[in-house]
Amino acid sequence: MNKFNLGIILKGLNFHQLKKIIFLLIFVNQIFLAQEKMISITIDDVPNTSEYLYNNFTPILLNILDSLEIPFAIFINESKILQTDSIERNKALLNLWIENESSTIGNHTYGHLRYSNVGLDSFLTDVEMGERFTIRFANRAGKPVKYFRFPYNDLGKDSIQHFQGKSYLNSKGYTIAPFTIESSDWMFNHVYEHYLKTGQIEKAKNIGEMYKEKTMQIVEFFEKMSLAKYGRNVKHIYLCHDNKLNADYLTEIISELREKDYQIISLDEALTDPIYAQENRYYKKWGISWMYRWIEKNEERLKWMRQEISLNEIQELYETFSKVK
């Protein structure tokens, strides 16, 4: 239909008919918006200085993210600077992550202590120790350090600790970084590295493929849950780690997400979704998805959690290889 014909048709319509057409267009637009798929990539336990040393001081995962030209958020554990002997180079590595134009910066504590175990005082010290270089480097790069992610996503052992931790972080100007999707990449990575180190390359590849497959299944699960609960696909936040597995497989995961029409967005943008304004109603220490935390009734939460994709196979391998030293 060309403009001329459309003009004639619109001219022939009365006010009520025009109003109906406008409402219909708004409705169709909303359906398209509801189908838009967006996800933010967030990376914990940065910087992985052991991998950096092992790879001759090449920041492989950072280089990959840079070449993908996607926004990403990093959550830093400054204790990692002291994990190998190359302290000055490790500091420079941290700086590279921070000054990268696509990175959003978050504190993940200095030593990755578990809040519910160590209690409030030690936790606060760990948060503040985690700011030493991060804030200095971020200032130099002209970036804020406005996010905080709890190690293990352990927000405290009960509602009192939850409240205390949250109040303290808010008073320091931090926003607690949630996530909706994670696929236990740390467990896959442990098994993956075990196979690589013992020369079992084929087995390692199988683990990498399994990681990709399970991640995509979990994405699909949370898509379904999102549609069921909110009538649309929410702006998701994916949590993974700075490890060898993601250096080797995150590119493929990103391209599979894109094939499924996902747009990769920044953490700032993801958090503009009103779902993140909801209250966290889960007061235990376990690091579960915020998709579950927003559910009021425990029974309903458990109903959803029971439907999540099984990771038993990798868990069994992880447990076996965690015992072998």
- Which CB, 185 or 273, lies closer to Zn ion? 185
Q: Which is nearer to Zn ion, 235 or 241 (CB)?
A: 241
Q: Which is nearer to Zn ion, 151 or 156 (CB)?
A: 151
Task: With CA atoms as reference, report the closest residue to 194 among 322, 103, 3, 65.
Answer: 322
Q: Which is nearer to Zn ion, 186 or 321 (CB)?
A: 186
CA 304 to chain centre: 20
Packing angle, helices 312-323 and 185-197, rounded to 10: 50
Q: In Å, how far from its chain's centre is CA 325? A: 30
Give me the DSSP letters along 258-318. HHTTEEEE-HHHHTTSGGGGSPP---SSS---HHHHT-S-HHHHHHHHHTSPP-HHHHHHH
Nearest CA to 70 among 208, 262, 273?
262
For residue 212, the minimal CB distance to Zn ion (Å) is: 21
Which residue do the tokens 């696929």 mark?
Answer: 183
One-letter amino acid identity for 91?
Answer: K
Answer yes or no whether residue 78 interacts with Zn ion by CB under 5 A. Answer: no
Query: Which span (4-12, 45-53, 81-89, 265-273) binds Zn ion, by CB under 5 A?
Result: 45-53
The piece of 42-50, 113-121, 247-255, 317-325 that touches Zn ion (CB under 5 A) is 42-50
Binding-site size for Zn ion (CB under 5 A) equals 3
Dihedral, CA of residue 220, residue 223, residue 227 and residue 231, to nearest 10: -150
For Zn ion, the closer of residues 116 and 233 by Cβ is 116
Considering only the stretches 82-90, 143-151, 216-224, 285-293, report the one whose residues sit in contact with Zn ion under the rule CB under 5 A.
143-151
Does 44 help bind Zn ion (rule: CB under 5 A)? Answer: yes
Q: Which of 39, 45, 162, 236 binds Zn ion (CB under 5 A)?
A: 45
CB of 152 to Zn ion, least distance (A): 7
By C-beta, is 45 or 78 nearer to Zn ion? 45
Q: Is 248 in the site for Zn ion (CB under 5 A)?
A: no
Angle at 124 between CA 120 and CA 126, to 5 degrees: 115
If the CB atoms of residues 113 and 275 are measured against Zn ion, the closer one turns out to be 113
Q: 150 to 209, contacts with Zn ion by CB under 5 A?
A: 151
Interface region with Zn ion, contact rule CB under 5 A, candidates 15-23, 66-74, 98-106, 148-156: 148-156
Stretch of 146-154, 185-193, 250-258, 261-269 contacting Zn ion, by CB under 5 A: 146-154
Distance between CA atoms of 1 and 260, rounded to whole angstroms? 31
The C-alpha atoms of residue 237 and residue 226 are separated, in whole angstroms, by: 13
Backbone dihedral angles phi then psi of residue 224, each to the nearest 5 degrees: -65, -40
Nearest distance in Å: CB 150, Zn ion = 9
Find the shortest distance in angstroms from Cβ 51 to Zn ion.
Answer: 15
Q: Which residues bind Zn ion (CB under 5 A)?
A: 44-45, 151
